[in-house]
Every structure is written in structure tokens, then in C-alpha cells.
Structure 1
Amino acid sequence: MYYNIDWEIKFKTGSKTFKLLMLLECEIEKNVENLADVAVITLPETVLNQALKVKDKIGRGSEVTIKTGYNGDLKTEFIGFVRDITTDGSLKIQCEDALFLFRRGIKDKMFKTTSVKQIAEYVCSEIGEGYKVICDYDLNYEKFVIHQATGYDVLQKLQEETKANVYFNTEKKELHIHPPFTEKGGYVIYCMQKNIEKSSLEYKKAIDRKLEVTVESIQKNGTVKTAKSGNTGGDTVTLKVGQMSEADAKKIAEAEVLKRSSDMYEGSFDTWLIPYCEPTYSAKIVDFDYPEQSAIYYVKATKLNISSSGGVRSITPGIKTATVK
């Protein structure tokens, strides 16, 4: 069976919808460790010696939907907004998911004894776009201050301090906040000898990656609460967070140890557009040459590229979540 690459890219500006009729390249990056999914659509700057007047129809804030697939069977890969349009030999349309909407300033506020979910819900209410918070990270602050900040600034601080996976489902208008590697998406199977075209994966064992993480939380009286997790005799990492209990600081330390010192693959591999895969998926990776490494891994990042040369999806796995027989 032959597979012919297909794509559909639509923009909506106000009440008008425009469908893209030409494309040099499109790249979409998704990563649970980044706040935003991003896409870059590349077009020729001129056609038949005539400049493309894209800015007459789309601009900053225009909605964008990108679908790709084979033989007319298309899957939605990206929903977001145009953030910028640049020209440098080619015309590039820079797109971002719902985080684009959260780059607005919000009102100052001081929270006393609050949760990550409550802070995120306040941010969403200030942005006013109808986004719902989906949060199962039971983490609390004894004090949290928002001052001269955008919604993006607050979410970035939450992500940096708690080490949570923070991301948007733009289609469903959801802001997700989860402990690392706990959110379960779909399930896919890859085999080194069948549907993996190129690989830079390197297997790392937890036993060779000793790590001790210390989390420091400065209290209102100036004292410092510390929480530790991991094993001595290896690397040491110190994280500083806002005012919170020792128990909550311990959760952050444990999450960081899990992310850095579990059995895992480092690197990435290239495959086709099918099967569909995105971060939070569980990927069964089989290697007949090294069966001891065959296991189920958490997908933490993907990068999709389509052009006249075809389509490639690059997968970056994270920690091993289960063994397979």
C-alpha cells in the first residue's frame, strides 16, 4: 500500500475562514515540560514573482488548525493562534497554543494557604476565555504572591517550582496540571526493526544515575525548610520554592528524582505520521537485538515535520513505566 502525505491548514480571522493552498514546510513541537505547543508554517515569500499577501488575511491572534495524514485520512495535530509572521527569504507563520491567550496582564493578588489548582483557577478567571483547570497535583502554598505579572508568568512560576506537567488542551479549553509522568494519554507500539526509521536512543539505568534532590522553602520569618529525596553518593540538586510545608516540598523533591534517575531512554527516534502519538502517550518500544530494553515508556515530547519530502514524527521518550514480556 502506498501512502501519500496530505495536509489541511485553516485560519480564522473574525468571521472569515481561509484555507492554505501551498506549503513549503510545517513543524509542530509538543513537550510536557514546556508550557506551550508551537507550530511554524513556512511559505514561499513570492509566487510567480508576486509577493504573497498573507498579512491581508491573517495576523496576530488569528485562529489556526493544522491537520495531517495519509491518503485523505487526516488527524488534527495542532490548534492555536498566530503569534507572529516573519519574513527572511521565506515567510514563516509562528503559532502557539492557548498559552497565547495567557500572555495578558492579570490583577495583583496575595494568596494565604492556597493550592496550585486555586492559583491556576484564579489565572483562568482573570484571562476570561472560559478555560477549565484539570489538576490532580495536590500541592499547597502557605503564601503565593502575584504582582505585575501575566497569566504566562504565573503558570511558568508554578511549573518551575513544582516541576508539574503544565499544558493546554486548546480544543477542549482545558489547562492541565499533573505530577510528572502520571497523565495517561493513548498507547502506541514501536519496533526498532519495523517502524522506527532512525534512532539516537541511549538506554540509561537508574542504578547508574544516583541523585539526591534538596528542596528549600523560605518561610515568612526568614527560616528555611528543607526536604530531601533520592540517594547520596551521586549528583546533588538544590531547588528553591515559595512558602510551603515540608511535606509539599518533599513531593517536589520526589518528582524531580523520578524524572532524573529512573530507568529511561535518552535521545529520540524518527517514525511515520502513523500511528498518531503525542506527549502523555505510553509507547511500547521493542528491540529484538536488546530485548532487555523492550518496555513501555512515557512519551514526553514529539516533533512533527511535513514538507514535499513527506512526513516525519520524532518521538522523545522519558522514563520506563512498565516492563513487557
Structure 2
Amino acid sequence: MYFEMDFDITFLTNGIEHKLLTLAECEIVSSVDNLADTATIVLPEAVLNEVVLNDVQSKIGRGSEVVIKLGYDNNLETEFTGYVDNITTNDSTLKIICIDALFLFRAAVPNIELKPTGIKSIAQYVVNNIDSSFTVNCDYDISYEKFTIYQATGYDVLKKIQEETKANIFFDTANKVLHIHPPYVEKGGDVKFSMHHNIEQSSLEYKRAIDKRVEVTVESTDLNGNVTSITTGTTGGDKVTIKVGPMSKADMQKVADAALVKNSFDGYEGTFDSWLIPVVRPTYTAEIIDLDYDFKNGKYYVVAVTTSFNDSGGKRTTTLGIKLSNG
């Protein structure tokens, strides 16, 4: 059975739509571990004469909105929604670099000292001062005794929260939602993959928790400059130290547990390749089936998906996170 690849890439500049009629390749990187999803669109060298270059650059510019749809036989899925960040022309190649709603949140936010406060309140402050049409979906209830924002952008603030709490932070650009969740909690959908059916190539390795020993230490400095620390995990394992702002020991424990969870299961680590169908996204639960090794079967949290499209067809590279169950 043969399926014909289709794409629809539309730009919106000053209220005017422009459709891309030719394409060499496109790569979309989406991950709950990154603050932003990105897309790189490459035009073929054969059409890159001066007229085409001038035409593209006159219709598309930094800040233009972009929607990328890919699929087979005109059955298209929206794969990316965002904004043009940059257009480069190197070595006779034109690349359109795109980024999701984080593009908007690289703007400055007013200086403030919030105390006491929590992750949701901090994120809401950022949204209110950059684009109040966004909503905040946050179920990570870590609190700070004090959180200071000084000469920072929205990106800087979200990055600090992510680094200190290990939260999964990402945008649903199409619906204008900023998501903040504990690792591996937000559930987007379900999908099945078989080693014998729809996994085309795999670099997955089956590892046991006993071989992934990690010792996590969280250090917090309170308002008086006193340092408190807690340690969890396996004594003698690989040491990870996380420095956070002033927060309670209970919330420090949540941070430590979040950092430790990815090393506490027997299961696969790595990536595998599939076609564009079935659709899989970060936050999905992917069931992996191996008829030769039943003990390896299980359901895993998808943390990242790289989707690529070119003359050879479409491909998804899926990265697994923790094992959720044995299937």
C-alpha cells in the first residue's frame, strides 16, 4: 500500500496568509523537557534564485505566525503552531527557524519580590505582564518563601522554575495555555507501538533500576541566609545537587523526588523511529510490545518527539521517559 505525503505550511503576516508551495525538508522538535517547541523549514536549492528569496523575505518575517500540517493522502495533522524567529540564507539554503509561544515570552517582566508565593502565582504574574490572553495550567504546588524577579524576561523566570523544581513546562500555543506540571503527570493521549509492526528502527536499551543508582541532594537558602539540605536516593550512587530558593523541607522533598523518579524503574531508555502514523506527542502514554520478550512490555511516558519530513517521507523519533506500568 502506498501513501502520498502531503504538507500545508501557512504563514500569517499582518493579517495576510501566505502558503509555502515548495519544501525541501522540515524538522519539528517537541519536548516536555524543553521550554519551547521548535521547527526548522528548509527550501530547496533549486528554487532559491534572487526572485524567490526576495519574495519569501517580503512576505515572511520575524514574528510572522506559522502553522505546519503534515500527513498522508491529504489527511493532515497540525504538527506545529508558533512564530518565525529567524530566516537564514547560508550555502544557497534558506532556513526558516520557528519557535512556539515562548517567542512572545522573551519579553521583559517588571521587577518584583514575591513572598510568600507559589509556582502558579509566579507564572500568572509573567503571563499578566506579557500576554494576558494566555491561561496557566499548573498542578505543581511547590511554594517559595520568596521569589525575586530582577531584570528578567518571561523566559528567564520560567527557566529558573524549571531548573529548580524539575517541572515539565511547555506551551500549547494554539490554545494559548502555559502548562506547568510535575514530571510525567500531564497525560495527552495513548498510542501503541510494536517491535514487529510499526517501530522501524530502535536504539532502545532495557535497563534495571538497580543499575541506575542516583543520590540527589537539594539545597535551599532561607531568608536569613541559612542553608538547609535534604538527600534522597541510593547512597554511593551518581551524585546530583540541586540548588533552590527559600522553600520548605516538604517542597524540597518534592523536588528531590521529581529528580529521582526517572531512575527508579526497570525498563527501556532511548529512542525509536516510526512513521507519521500513529500520531504520538510528548505527554502521551506509549505502550511498547515485544512478542519475543514479554518482560520488556510496558507503558511509557513520552517526553520528546522529533518529526521530520523530506523527499524520502515522514518520520517520528520518539524519546521515552519513565515506565508507567507493565502493560
Scaled to the shorter chain, the TM-score interval is over 0.9
1:84-163 correspondence to structure 2 within 5 Å: 84-89=86-91, 90-163=93-166
Distance of aligned partners of 1:202 and 1:51 in 2 relative to their CA distance in 1, 3 Å threshold:
farther
| Residue in 1 that maps onto 2:252 | 249
Report how far residue 264 of structure 1 moved.
Answer: 3.6
| Pairs within 5 Å for 1:1-325 | 1-45=1-45, 47=47, 49-52=49-52, 53=54, 54-89=56-91, 90-324=93-327
Q: CA deviation at 1:46?
A: 5.5
Separation in 2 of the partners of 1:48 and 1:254?
52
Task: Measure, in 2, the Cα distance between the counterparts of 1:48 and 1:111.
Answer: 52
Distance 1:149 1:101 in 2: 14
Q: Give the secondary-structure state (helix, strand or coil) at the position aligned to 1:215.
A: strand
Q: Helix, strand or coil: the match of 1:101?
A: helix
Aligned residue type for 1:4: E
Once structures 1 and 2 are overlaid, which stretch shifts more, 60-69 or 46-55? 46-55
Offset of residue 128 of structure 1: 2.2
Question: In 2, distance between residues paired with 1:43 and 1:69?
Answer: 19
CA distance in 2, matches of 1:15, 1:269: 40
SS of 2:258's equivalent in the other structure is helix
Q: Aligned equivalents of 2:2 and 2:211: distance in 1?
A: 44
Partners of 2:323 and 2:51 lie apart in 1 by: 50
- CA distance 1:260–1:51, shift in 2 (3 Å): farther
Cα shift at 1:265: 2.1
**CA–CA distance in structure 2, aligned partners of residues 16 and 250 of structure 1:** 51
Alpha-carbon offset, residue 50 of structure 1: 4.1
Per-residue deviation, 1:232: 1.4
Shift of 1:267: 1.6
User: Does the CA contact (< 8 Å) of 2:221 and 2:228 recur in 1?
Assistant: yes
Cα offset, 1:49, TM superposition: 4.3
The answer for unaligned runs of 5 or more in structure 2 is: none
CA distance in 1, matches of 2:26, 2:195: 26
In structure 2, what is the Cα distance between the partners aligned to 1:150 and 1:192? 44
Q: 1:207 is matched by which residue type in structure 2?
A: I
Contact in 1 for aligned 2:114/2:147 (Cα 8 Å): yes
In 1, distance between residues paired with 2:50 and 2:3? Answer: 33
Separation of aligned partners in 2, 1:120 and 1:48: 43
**TM-score, scaled to structure 2:** 0.97
CA distance in 2, matches of 1:91, 1:224: 51
Q: CA deviation at 1:258?
A: 0.1
Tell me if the contact between 1:185 and 1:280 (Cα under 8 Å) persists in the aligned partners.
yes
Cα deviation for residue 107 of structure 1 reads: 0.3
CA deviations on 1:182-238 (whole Å, 9 max, x unpaired) are 111110000011111110111111122122211000112221111222221322211
Q: How many Å separate the matches in 2 of 1:322 and 1:5?
A: 35
CA distance in 1, matches of 2:283, 2:272: 16
Question: In structure 2, how many angstroms separate the alpha carbons of the residues matched to 1:260 and 1:178?
Answer: 19
What displacement does 1:146 show? Answer: 0.2
Deviations 1:268-323 (A, max 9, x none): 11100001111000000011222211100000000000011100011111110011
User: Partner of 1:138: helix, strand, or coil?
Assistant: coil
Say what the alpha-carbon RMSD is for the aligned residues: 1.2
Amino acid at match of 1:124: V
Is the Cα contact below 8 Å between 2:111 and 2:151 reproduced in 1? yes
